[in-house]
Structure 1
Amino acid sequence: MSENFWLVLAIVLYFGLMVAIGFYSWLQTSKYDDYVLGDRGLNPLVAGLSAGASDMSGWLLMGLPGALFVSGMSELWIVIGLFIGTWANWKWIAPRLRAYTEVANNSITLPSFFENRTHDTSRVLRFTAAVIIIFFFTFYVSSGMVSGGRYYESTFGGDYLTGVLIVGSITVLYTFIGGFLAVSYTDVVQGTLMFLALITVPVMALLSLDHPGDIFSYATSNPYGPWEHGNPSYFNMVAGVSAATIIGNLAWGLGYFGQPHIVTRFMALRSPAQAASARRTGTIWVFICYAGAVFTALVSTVYFGQKSESVTDQTGYETVFLDLARIMFHPLIAGIVLTAVLAAIMSTMSSQLLITSSALIEDLYRIFKKNPNHTTLLVLSRTMVVAVAVVAILLAIHPSDTILGLVGFAWAGFGAAFGPVVIASLYWKRLTAPGAIAGMIVGAVTVFIWGTYLSDVIYEIVPGVILATAAMVAVSLATRPKPGTDAEFDTAAAATDYALAHPDSTFDDALTAIEGNRGGTTAV
């Protein structure tokens, strides 16, 4: 049988599993809160893997190995920044955000949390946050569609638009059916695929080398890829890299605090105490995946330098992982490994679809429609998943540098617009609604302008976060917090501390204990 037959079989099996998980999640989704946030019932293992999988796109398996293959270890600064950001996000944001979103009128989206946290009655804060989410994520989802089309085109030699429609349709189908639970459960499968692929591919390639130890020296003095005489600075992390570039790459870690599709997993945990277990799962997964990507690049410098095979992508060398997978394994196994790239694309895209749908319904529609019933909200949320996907597909039909360029600073946009506000919401009692609005607008606008005209100076998240924080603090100090925010802030902080000190307790236990102490009784 032909290679394409086995590759198609692997992809069909994968798609079938995704749809089956969607139907399973549908059986557990009976009300609106289930669809948007899984009714806060996510266990830490699922949360940890889901956050990681929804974070990583095809960049992890294609972009990062390609960059390391060409440029060497100077590309590691961004990996260091992202790893630190992952750990810090789980450590300091996850437990308190889980507690505070429930204390603040059971907020189930980031914009609704900002509004409830500051007691904003104007709806301007919630509206502004929702618009930022819808704008950036619509283009982000479109980028995923483009990636799916390119994947189909390069893997099967098929039509680009057909690939866009196939990948987009399957992603929309399981997201439409099962909502948050489907996205989270499929993330576990997709994260596991990515994890196993990033271990097995470089290991098998390493074992095929005559001298495996060459991976730590070969690239510096031997021809490979774009280097006719080797890259003498391959293992030097600072060679040819300016201080501004290093700072900018490390600053990628700042973006984690404001990514809606990641922090939503924190809000869905059963208890703040489970953030510790989820953090261990998530950070170990991320560390091993990054290590696999690094070793894929290292092995590739030797393998493609010594063997007769060549890298398909002779420009960015972003197919080194895909090429090794095809060479190392039987077509069926290679097909399963190659679905890891598809998994990376689809896991990110499904999370973004759901967050954008939630912003449209929970944070815009409910501003104008008071107290709609749960059935209406559920139907509208599913409808918006399809609507956003259709717009994204239309944008993906003729992809342009402008659309794809927006994705490059979407991370910075969310990091600058939402990151300072998230941190201040959880740790600064003095935050006000006007301050949060000012911070979001200044952060988003700074990233947009800087990313368009000054991106060569330093990564736009750096000035974005600095100016957003300054605006947020200045305006908050010039205005007054609404009555009641202090008491909620103290309750959320105390509930978090109690939950972390009593890991076997539920969040309701923490709230009961706090109220008991305030009432003069002894907390258990």
Structure 2
Amino acid sequence: MSQHTWFILAIIIYMLVMLAIGYWSFRQTTEYDDYVLAGRGLNPFIAAMSAGASDMSGWLLMGLPGALFVTGLSELWIAIGLAIGTWANWKWVAPRLRSYSEVAKNSITLPSFFENRLHDKSRALRMISALIIIVFFTFYVSSGMVSGGRYFESTFGGNYLDGMLIVAFVTVAYTFIGGFLAVSYTDAVQGIIMFCSLIIVPVMALISLDNPGDILSWAASHDYGPYTQGIGNPTYFNMIAGVGAATLIGNLAWGLGYFGQPHIVMRFMALRKPSEAKIGGRIGVFWMVLCMLGALSTAVVGTVFFSQNPDVAVTDRESFETIFLDMGRILFHPLIAGLVLTAVLAAIMSTMSSQLLVVSSSLVEDIFKVLRRQIPSEAVLINLSRTAVVAVAVIGAVLSIHPSDSILGLVGFAWAGFGSSFGPLMLASLYWRRLNYQGAIAGMLTGAIVSFAWGMSSLSNLIYEIVPGFGFGALVMVLVSLATKQPTDAMNDEFDRATKLARIAESNPDMDIDKAIIQVDG
């Protein structure tokens, strides 16, 4: 069989597995809460792998290796910031959010949690946060579809548009039928695939080199990729070369974005109990660090691999975001290569499915149910959510037909938007008693507007937009909260209950969440 036939066979096997998980999840999903949040029944391993896989997207296997390949180790500050952010998110947000979201009227979406936490009867906080999710996730979904199209270009030499549509169709299919449970379990499988592939590909590429030790110096003194002047990239291994204070702060600030990513924190809300956040955090951070080391190794080994193999070339000659794909395609038997290369599909589809589900949940739970006085049946709500999945996918596909930015650029724009809008609000909701809904709305809007305007202007070349967005959003949130009325006694009592529940769960990890709630209530 030809190489393309083997690749197609591998892709078909992978797609069938994803659809099978979707069908199994469909059989387990009978209620609307199951479709949106899996009945709060995720074990910590599934939650951690799902959060990691939905977090990383095609950026981990395409955007990050490409940036490290072209620029050098100075791009590693983003990965360091993300690793720190992952740890902080599991440490500070996960257990508190799992407790508080249940105490706050069993909130099942992020906008509903903010509304219930702050007792906002105007519904403005919920509606605005839902609209922010819809706007920024449209860009995020678009980045996934761009990754899918480029994947098929590199792997099959096929048409970008065809590849984009195939990836979108299968992702929509299993998300459509299985909801949050399907998304979580497919994410876990996809996270394992990504992990294994990021270890195998650079190791095999390193073994194939005539002198593996070349990777420690080659890029700094030899031409490769975009460098054709005979001197290579002399600052490749210097992490601070050409990195000003603003750039360093901006790259590390990617970690701030974690606190406000709806598709990640939803996994915290779906945990079986708050105490399992500790186990989930250990698994999530371990997975994240090793995967990023794999991406780094792919880039460093790639500088030598493609230079010493002049007969092979990187498909993407602009951003060099296909080096992982190209190395896997060259190194392995076509069937094994096809299975390895599904890691990129896994990354793309895991993130897209999570984003599609969060957007559809916001459309139905936070906009439709708020605007409609009479709430329809469970079956109707589930079908509306499925319809919303398809609608958002169509919009994302339209935006992806002619991509005008790199994968990293698209992801970075959406990441900053969420981090600036929801990051300060999330931390304050969980840890600051004085917060009120006026401050929440003002800070959220400020963060979104500053991040959007900064990212669309030339100021984004000065510093990453999440820094001013997060900073101004937090400042305005605090000032407006202090200038307006204090929280009610009911809000303070609820805050105390949520805090006590998180502490009890942490000190008694084997205690059932329902028993912990009974203990909190005396």
Fold agreement, TM-score > 0.5:
yes
Q: Which runs of 5+ in 1 are unaligned?
A: 517-524
State which drifts further: 430-439 or 213-222.
Answer: 213-222
Task: Please list the CA deviations of residues 170-214 of structure 1 after superposition, one character each: whole Å capped at 9, or x if unmatched.
Answer: 101100000000000000111111100000000111111222222
In the alignment of these two chains, the number of paired residues is 516
Contact 1:118 1:482 in 2 (8 A): no
The answer on 1:458 being equivalent to 2:460 is no
Contact 2:198 2:291 in 1 (8 A): yes
Report the aligned-residue RMSD.
1.5
Task: Call closer, same or farther: CA 1:508–1:28 in 2, change over 3 Å.
Answer: same
- 1:369 is matched with which residue? 372
- 1:504 partner SS: coil
Matches within 5 A, 1:316-465: 316-370=319-373, 371-401=375-405, 407-453=411-457, 454-465=459-470
- 2:521 partner SS: helix
Which of 442, 452, 474 is residue 469 of structure 1 equivalent to?
Answer: 474
The answer on 1:269 being equivalent to 2:271 is yes
Following superposition, the deviation at residue 57 of structure 1 comes to 1.4
State which drifts further: 176-185 or 310-319.
Answer: 310-319
- TM-score between the two structures when normalised by the length of structure 2: 0.96
Following superposition, the deviation at residue 406 of structure 1 comes to 5.5
State which drifts further: 100-109 or 504-513.
Answer: 504-513
The answer on 1:248 being equivalent to 2:253 is no
- TM-score between the two structures when normalised by the length of structure 1: 0.96
The answer on 1:132 being equivalent to 2:150 is no
Contact 1:139 1:403 in 2 (8 A): no
Structure 1 CA distance for aligned equivalents of residues 407 and 309 of structure 2: 38
Following superposition, the deviation at residue 31 of structure 1 comes to 0.1
Structure 2 CA distance for aligned equivalents of residues 340 and 403 of structure 1: 16
Matches within 5 A, 1:469-508: 469-480=474-485, 481-508=487-514
Task: Please list the CA deviations of residues 260-306 of structure 1 after superposition, one character each: whole Å capped at 9, or x if unmatched.
Answer: 00000000000000001100111110000000011111111222222
Match for 1:41: what amino acid? G
- 1:146 is matched with which residue? 146
Which of 289, 292, 295 is residue 293 of structure 1 equivalent to?
Answer: 295
Structure 2 CA distance for aligned equivalents of residues 317 and 140 of structure 1: 20
- 1:46 is matched with which residue? 46
Task: Call closer, same or farther: CA 1:81–1:71 in 2, change over 3 Å.
Answer: same
Task: Please list the CA deviations of residues 145-180 of structure 1 after superposition, one character each: whole Å capped at 9, or x if unmatched.
Answer: 232122223322223322222111110110000000
Task: Please list the CA deviations of residues 334-386 of structure 1 after superposition, one character each: whole Å capped at 9, or x if unmatched.
Answer: 01111111111111100000000000000001112233322221111111111
- 1:239 is matched with which residue? 241
Contact 2:154 2:315 in 1 (8 A): no
Task: Please list the CA deviations of residues 233-273 of structure 1 after superposition, one character each: whole Å capped at 9, or x if unmatched.
Answer: 11111111111000000000000000000000000000000
Contact 1:432 1:482 in 2 (8 A): no
Which of 274, 279, 282 is residue 280 of structure 1 equivalent to?
Answer: 282
Contact 1:83 1:253 in 2 (8 A): yes
Following superposition, the deviation at residue 404 of structure 1 comes to 9.2
Instruction: Determine what percentage of the aligned residue pairs are the same residue.
Output: 65
Structure 1 CA distance for aligned equivalents of residues 163 and 76 of structure 2: 32
Match for 2:416: what amino acid? A
- 2:263 partner SS: helix
State which drifts further: 207-216 or 341-350.
Answer: 207-216
Contact 1:58 1:345 in 2 (8 A): yes
Task: Call closer, same or farther: CA 1:420–1:318 in 2, change over 3 Å.
Answer: same
- 2:182 is matched with which residue? 182
Following superposition, the deviation at residue 464 of structure 1 comes to 0.6
Q: Which runs of 5+ in 2 are unaligned?
A: none
Following superposition, the deviation at residue 400 of structure 1 comes to 4.0
Contact 2:154 2:325 in 1 (8 A): no
Contact 1:198 1:289 in 2 (8 A): yes
Structure 1 CA distance for aligned equivalents of residues 403 and 346 of structure 2: 21
Contact 1:115 1:123 in 2 (8 A): yes
Contact 2:195 2:287 in 1 (8 A): yes
